[in-house]
Structure 1
Amino acid sequence: MPTPQQLLAKLAQLEDQNTGHSYGENVWEIVQNQDTFNITLTLGYPCEEQKSDLISRIKTEVGDDTSFDLNLVADIASHKTQGNLPGLKGVKNVIAVASGKGGVGKSTTTVNLALAMVKEGAKVGILDADIYGPSQGMMMGFADGTRPQVRDEKFFIAPKAHGVQVMSMAFLTTQDTPMAWRGPMVTGALMQILNQTAWEDLDYLFIDMPPGTGDIQLTLAQKVPVAGSIIVTTPQDIALLDARRGIEMFNKVKIPVLGVVENMSTHICSNCGHQEAIFGDEGGAGLAQEFDVCVLGKLPLSMSIRQLSDEGKPIVVASPESDVTNSYQSIARKLGATLASQQGDEDSGAFVMPTISMSDD
């Protein structure tokens, strides 16, 4: 039976598969209890779905004769934002999910990534920032006519689905209501639903951005404390061209790009399972290399993803054991690990509430 010091030396050499580096000694706590060890691994990101794999890797490292119990702890900090903007009340980290153009699966990626984070053990919310074409209400399975409750005539109470708090313009309008608004009205609506939603102790708030680099994106950069961003693209050259513009925009406004998600990387035939890169090959990897960011993961063009999204049953909850869900889980862990590698900032600043009133009408 090894001593706690000998056990720690072995565990310190284990590779964190979400960062590519060894864990080191500081994240482990080992307590010997007679013939067994109580091992606690504390990380700056959630990874509950990786626990069984970690247990297997530890057994391989220390031998089957060493008895132990593993406890995973996610110590998620608030991270610095562009210009050290005051933080949002009830939110540790805001993450923008963006794309240079529409039709690349950004909203689908947002909803499944948020649900994957919940499975990993995080508290998560989604803000649908696509004022003209909100889709998160439908994707998360909310019934038409869902409305947020109002507290103290000041705060929206975000509706919840699958453990995720969701706020969207879809909850404030009908499906047939056209949002024929000019830029100032759109950005004003975004700031209202962002700041006046009573977010409840979120580790991550994902903002599903509209495509492009217009008013919403600029308002986000100037007024919303964003800890990092994700770029969703397809391997197609025209999509990569617009994705470059998105990365350049975030670089200019000092919002870190945490990584690239390559969606529709291959087409999977629903009949025979054959995979083919119909939109090109390794485009996301080339983009990531060009801007020195990581590829968080690749996702296929699959009919099941589309069908389940249209039915309001995202694939992460509808098919939890599928290969696609495993890909989303991997992306979620790598995203959390990448953000955690940045310098933490526990004091995110004071929250200033704008003066605005509303009613249940």
Structure 2
Amino acid sequence: MEKKSVTYKDAGVDIDAGNRFVDMIKPMVKATSRPEVLTDIGGFGGLFSFHADKYKKPTLVSSTDGVGTKLKLAFMMDKHDTVGIDLVAMCVNDIIVQGAEPLFFLDYMATGKLAPEKAAEVVKGISEGCQQAGCALIGGETAEMPGFYSEGEYDVAGFTVGAVDNDNIIDGSAITVGDKIIGIASSGLHSNGYSLARKVFFDHMGLNVNDTLPEFGQSIGLEMLTPTRIYVKTALNLIRDFTIKGMAHITGGGLLENVPRVLPKHCHAVIHRDSWEKPVIFDVLQKGGNIEDTEMHRTFNYGLGMVLIVPNEQCEDILIRLSGLNEKAWEIGEITKNVDEPPSVLLD
């Protein structure tokens, strides 16, 4: 008896579904295009004509990141249209702190069995994030890996490249005693601390993603899926007109570990812990898990997604500009002298 011929689809990989997915996302990708983009998706590589003549000494800046266990909330809620925004945000926010304008973005998505509609929802978020950041989505990869991921689950990674004139790189070296620290509001948890947040809500408090707390006005799941803020256009606006000496993207490690990354050896950052408004989710988490204040500051962004270090004499004008850009922002501290210790954040 002749054995049945085995196909790739029998093994769990559906090439036709992959092709259908590519067709579905083409309009989303096109919506992010910039004049420098030379190709549509589908080629072996994305072509981007870098206009180096815009810079005296062009420097490329790159970053890669993922979304982490926030994806668990997307799986639990079966809601996939916002995690792509998070993916872009985690990458582009990391390069804007050095003054680099994001130019293009690529994504990688891996799953056990490709569901084209679900995957397209993820790319919809990536497209939205790229438009918010002003960068082009020029390519990506979708890997169907049977047996490697749990049913219905996937992972995503993102990669961005930006450019800055070498003379305009923001590296913190100009920071000095007396400079002011400005914090720009986050939209909530952003994309870090989710392992602790899930433990508090679902284990300690015994809640589930569909429960609604009066503090939120929506389900816990939707509150936790609030997308990460993208600060690129705001930062570029400020960099154009003001002296920004240092910037820190507040992600894993919170204020305590991210701000010192941009401080010179002779400086400490004194941050006044009651100088800004914290989104209610942080108060609910702290009470629900009986979390110590220091643990909150080193795990979560605690209401500040981006920190700027600026000259004292420009601080007020920068805050006025931020208000005009519809950003919530506060003067949260200042730079003080440090003699022998490593740069650090001092909370008072």
TM-score when normalising by structure 2: 0.22
